[in-house]
């Protein structure tokens, strides 16, 4: 599988990746890293693989599991020194040194896989909208992730917008919040398109449960424009007598927090209000580790997964949350 929209060479940082992996030690011999696996070596799985290898402080990528022996992701993983399997998860599940599994398949697959991860004592971090386990958005409730055996990263639109809804609801009561996530059609692969119903339901529930709105709604739009657009997210919040100064300060502070793990996250419309409706807009540019810059909807998921994975690994090592 090639990156969306043409190749962004995953091997441009080959020396950096090799050095990073060589510095990892086996936890059974007193390691300062936790061994992890990725299930699903598609575009998202490859991008996450490169992020872990290049930037993780507390994880060692040990295993990548797929279903196609000829897949680009499995080939890359093998060339980078990871164990791979195209015949099922049994070998990975049986490896007791692997403590964390990243699910990068589909919502349907994760519903079947989650009980198996739990049975084998592995923490699962789910990048699909299956909505199984504890829903986590790093900038809002990331501190809760270490205590959960199954973690849901909600959706790309949720990761981009729920922190802003919560930033507003932390200073003003939000009766209703609606988000519109607009992504490039070319960044929406088969998995994204198959999971659209799950996207809207999962995101809406998390707008309420994590974002703090009394009622939530989520909409996703696939824009076919060429060249492809960057991911843009519009957030509407119904607030009685809004204090725009307090809201703006809270939103800007939250944006800075997210930029700590998603550098391409940007506030492009300062909060404005019309009567009782507050409106603001976020843009997400991908880091280009494997996927093109316009695929910010995928990059924000892999960036959140890296952050939560490092946090959980740091806690497992007795180091507290990753700084």
Lowest pLDDT segment from 17-31, 36-50, 147-161, 241-255: 17-31
* Domains parsed from the chain with CATH numbers: 14-154+301-316 (3.40.50.720), 156-294 (3.30.360.10)
Express each pLDDT in 61-90 by its tens digit: 999 999 999 999 999 999 999 999 999 999
Mean pLDDT, rounded, for 273-297: 96
Q: Please enumerate in sequence order all residues whose Cβ is within 8 A of that of 22, keeping only pairs 6 or more positions apart, or say none.
A: none
Express each pLDDT in 246-266 by its tens digit: 999 999 999 999 999 999 999
Answer yes or no: 156 catalytic. Answer: yes
Express each pLDDT in 162-175 by its tens digit: 999 999 999 999 99
User: What is the C-alpha separation between 53 and 22, in angstroms, rounded?
Assistant: 10
Mean pLDDT, rounded, for 291-309: 98
Choose, from 82, 156, 279, 312, the residue flagged as catalytic: 156
So what's the pLDDT on residue 11? 37
Q: Please enumerate in sequence order all residues whose Cβ is within 8 A of that of 33, keeping only pairs 6 or more positions apart, or say none.
A: 24, 25, 27, 56, 58, 59, 60, 313, 317
Strand partners, 231: 284
Structure tokens at 242: 């809004």
Mean pLDDT, rounded, for 142-152: 97
So what's the pLDDT on residue 8? 44
Strand partners, 235: 179, 280
pTM: 0.91
User: What is the C-alpha separation between 143 and 193, in angstroms, rounded?
Assistant: 31
Share of the chain above pLDDT 90, in %: 85
Share of the chain above pLDDT 70, in %: 90
Q: Please enumerate in sequence order all residues whose Cβ is within 8 A of that of 87, keeping only pairs 6 or more positions apart, or say none.
A: none
Express each pLDDT in 209-222 by its tens digit: 999 999 999 999 99
So what's the pLDDT on residue 276? 86
Whether the per-residue pLDDT at 192 is higher than 90: the answer is no
Of the CA atoms within 13 Å of residue 2, those in its CB half-sphere come to: 6
């Amino acid at each position: 599988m090639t990156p969306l929209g043409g190749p962004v060479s995953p091997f441009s940082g080959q020396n950096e990746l090799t050095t990073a992996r060589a510095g990892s030690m086996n936890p059974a011999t007193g390691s300062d890293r936790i061994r992890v696996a990725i299930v699903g070596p598609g575009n998202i799985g490859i991008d996450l693989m490169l992020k872990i290898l290049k930037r993780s402080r507390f994880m060692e990528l040990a295993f990548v599991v797929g279903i196609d022996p000829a897949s680009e992701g499995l080939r890359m993983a093998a060339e980078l020194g990871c164990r791979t399997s195209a015949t099922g998860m049994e070998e990975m599940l049986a490896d007791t040194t692997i403590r964390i599994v990243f699910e990068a398949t589909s919502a349907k697959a994760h519903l079947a896989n989650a009980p198996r991860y739990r049975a084998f004592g592995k923490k699962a971090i789910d990048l699909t909208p299956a909505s199984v386990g504890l829903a986590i958005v790093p900038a809002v409730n990331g501190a809760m992730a270490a205590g959960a055996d199954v973690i849901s990263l909600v959706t790309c639109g949720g990761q981009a917008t729920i922190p802003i809804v919560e930033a507003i609801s932390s200073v003003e009561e939000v009766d209703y919040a609606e988000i519109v996530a607009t992504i490039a059609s070319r960044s929406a692969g088969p998995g994204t398109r198959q999971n659209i119903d799950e996207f809207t339901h999962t995101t809406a529930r998390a707008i309420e449960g994590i974002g703090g709105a009394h009622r939530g709604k989520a909409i996703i739009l696939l824009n076919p424009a060429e060249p492809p657009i960057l991911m843009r997210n519009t957030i509407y919040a119904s607030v009685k007598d809004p204090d725009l100064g307090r809201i703006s300060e809270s939103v800007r502070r939250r944006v800075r927090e997210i930029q700590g793990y998603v550098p391409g996250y940007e506030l492009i419309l300062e909060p404005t209000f019309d009567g009782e409706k507050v409106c603001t807009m976020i843009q997400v540019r991908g880091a280009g580790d494997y996927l093109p810059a316009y695929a910010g909807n995928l990059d924000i998921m892999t960036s959140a997964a890296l952050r939560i994975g490092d946090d959980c690994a740091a806690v497992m090592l007795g180091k507290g949350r990753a700084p």
